Chains A and B, each alone.
Chain A
Amino acid sequence: MTSAAGCLAANDWICGEYVRSRAQELTEATLQHVWITAASVLIGLAVAFPLALLVRARPRLAAPVLGLTTVLYAIPSLAMFSLLLPLFGLSAALVVTGLVLYSLTILVRNILAGLAAVPEEAREAARGMGYGPGRLLWEVELPLALPAVMAGVRMATVSTVALTTVGALVDYGGLGTLITTGLKSFFKAQVLTASLLCVLLAVTADLLLLWLQRLLTPWTRPARTPGTLIRGAG
């Protein structure tokens, strides 16, 4: 340590010197947290979409698929990572797989709900215009289901950010690793800073996704009447 600052020596909860002297460590942990979360949610989406489409095409599969994802959700995170341990060993793949399995419940349900809420008239109109099933799905149903899908993605992302910390168990917990090592050495500034960064990350991710959702679904925004003040400026 270069300068034995007062708050580090006193082991205070809030310590600017900690943030300054460990900036690199904090950045690395945050980056690890971000990529583990992003990979989990993206893979989760890639698995959830075909599952949701399959369930929609074969309603008889709905009960087993939804039941299985709910059972997965009931498994405690510590237990989930432990059960996957024999398959993956101590690796980032273990953490990502666990998180993907958790995100499935939320994602599959929301995608299904979104597709089910597409008005039948919109489908009929598209079919009438000669749209095949593929084009109908991509150009009509998915855009209309987007708000529900995005709601699911936001929920999954926020809870994945929080759950990633448990990956500290196998040293791939991002900020969670800092939290648990901070606990072992009773290092208050590290525990509090890492925890706050984690919450901040969840809130930032949620706001970014909300912004993306608005960008992708301009038709859900109320038309801005002339003369309306632009809110949120400055």
Chain B
Amino acid sequence: MGAVTDAWTWLTTGANWQGESGVWHRLAEHLWFSGVCLAVSCLLALPLALWLGHIGRGGALAVNVSNVGRAVPTLAVLVLLTLTPLGRHGDLPTIIALVLFAVPPLLTNAYVGMREVDRAVVEAARGMGMSGGQVFRRVELPLAYPLVMTGLRTATVQVIATATLAAMAGGGGLGRIITAGFNTDDTAQVVAGALVVGVLALLAEGLLVVAGRVCDPMRATRRAH
């Protein structure tokens, strides 16, 4: 496994972490893209999905959007956006493309989570005199929570992964380390960059699993089962 040792040497060389094209700078860019995209996607997708789930309409829309999203090549969208006037605005094309890909999993999971709440439970809550808003906040949302979080985890990993492709379309982020390695035929750098991205994606996934458990509104109940 010479390549891995070479990559390790690359990673442990301080100079590779410093400067404009160093790992720290690329990591900061990567996290910035991903964070902005996730925030925007959540603001767009979650209220809509939860509301649609609450009133029980638009299911076909929520599910179909997700299936179509899978068929569209991310790379193509990124490249197309950079060729439009939007391309002159720095990171904007990357952010738009990433939002486009983060919305479907958030939308579908939140919607399905809301619809899978047992109708009998909702009826019971209404029978106890809860208003629509109370049913939503105190019954539907806590029960839909695990799937909403699954959607968020999928979207996060997808965004961190896809942000790498931005480099192939001239954007920044950790993908730059990989593509720069390809361009200079430096396998050690390519593998090192890939390792950093992979670790970041898995770290984000792990953090969200833990955060999801800590913030679970029904933590005590679910643990008992």
Contact = CB atoms under 8 A, between A and B. Distances in A.
Contact of A78 (B3, B187, B197): B197
Contacts of A80: 194
Interface centre among B3, B67, B161, B162 (most CB of A within 10 A): B161
A64 interface: no
B58 interface: no
Interface in A174-224: 176, 179-180, 182-183, 186, 188, 191-192, 194-195, 198-199, 202-203, 206
Contacts of B168: 78, 166, 168-169, 180, 183
Contact of B165 (A74, A75, A77, A161): A77
B73 to A, nearest CB: 4
Interface in B179-197: 179, 181-182, 187, 190-191, 193-195, 197
A134 interface: no
Interface string B152-186: 00000100111011011110000100110110000
B164 A78 contact: yes
Interface in B57-79: 67, 70-77, 79
B82 interface: yes
Chain A contact residues: helix, strand, loop or mixed = helix
Contacts of A170: 182
A79 B198 contact: yes
A158 interface: yes
B93 to A, nearest CB: 11
B108 to A, nearest CB: 13
Contacts of A176: 73, 75-76
Contacts of B80: 191-192, 195
B203 to A, nearest CB: 10
Interface residues of B, number: 43
A74 B202 contact: yes
B25 to A, nearest CB: 18
A42 interface: no
Contacts of B127: none
A75 B162 CA distance: 10
Interface in A72-114: 73-80, 82-83, 85-86
Nearest to A77: B161
Interface of A: 71, 73-80, 82-83, 85-86, 155, 158-159, 161-166, 168-170, 176, 179-180, 182-183, 186, 188, 191-192, 194-195, 198-199, 202-203, 206
6 contacts: A75-B194, A76-B160, A78-B168, A79-B161, A80-B194, A155-B70
